[in-house]
Amino acid sequence: MKKISLILIGFLISLGAFAQQKAPFYNEIEAFKKADSLKMPPKDGILFIGSSSLRKWTDLEKVYKSYGAINRGFGGSTLANAIYYADDIIFPYQPRQIVVYSGENDIAEGASPEVTFDRFKILFELIRKKTPQVSISFIAIKPSISREKMMPEMVYANELIKTFLSAQDNTSFINVYPLMLKDNGRPMDDIFLDDNLHMNQKGYDIWIKAITPYLIKTK
């Protein structure tokens, strides 16, 4: 806990620098807020937050319409960005479940698996403090061809997060990682766009099959 507190202090100091200028992804967050002002999504839905793998999942809300899905994936965001914007993209919606996909860009920007894990814990504890009853699911950091060299770090970060969540109530770890690999352990060739990073429909079909069993239906 002391370690997390020190990391949080450092994170809050960094927010002071953001305050002097527009924070990353400011315009995307403002667009969400404007859309909410025109039509606020119903409460008690399932909120998806995270990076561009969610942002580019353009039919997510349609796929999970019956679940009341809300897609708040933005930019090439990190867990640090999700923490920074939590008051804008998490708490206004009062969801019954939060599904997180983030951490991939943290590692791509140089964060270690341990730092990535610590950022997730900060986000997790922030959510639990304000909404203690909400269910929290984490989609495993995915492999990709363009970031194949980072796969060992991603595997370790996933293991840290999975172990942590296994000791928490009302959580789940959705392990898409092995489902996106060939028999030789390398990322599949046919599930990505031309950038070899973001998924095509075949990639999202893998995610849908993996994620759906973990989503909580309305009573």
C-alpha–C-alpha distance, residues 110 and 125, integer Å: 23
User: For residue 113, what are the contacts with CB-CB under 8 A and spacing of at least 6?
Assistant: 107, 153, 154, 156, 157, 160
pLDDT value at residue 13 = 46
pLDDT value at residue 37 = 96
* Percent of the chain whose predicted confidence (pLDDT) is above 90: 89
Fold of 2-214: Rossmann fold (3.40.50)
Q: What are residue 100's DSSP bridge partners?
A: 49, 138
Element spanning 47, H or E:
strand 46-50
pLDDT value at residue 19 = 52
Phi, psi of 50 (to 5 degrees): 150, -150
pLDDT value at residue 129 = 97
C-alpha–C-alpha distance, residues 156 and 112, integer Å: 9
Residue labelled with tokens 């920074």:
84
pLDDT value at residue 8 = 55
C-alpha–C-alpha distance, residues 103 and 119, integer Å: 9
**C-alpha angle 88/47/191, rounded to 5°?**
115
C-alpha–C-alpha distance, residues 102 and 75, integer Å: 11
C-alpha–C-alpha distance, residues 208 and 176, integer Å: 10
pLDDT value at residue 14 = 52
Amino acid, single-letter form, for residue 56:
K
Which residue positions in the chain have pLDDT lower than 50? 2, 6, 9, 13, 17
Question: pTM for this one?
Answer: 0.91
pLDDT value at residue 82 = 98
Helix axes 2-19, 113-130, angle to 10 degrees: 90
pLDDT value at residue 76 = 95
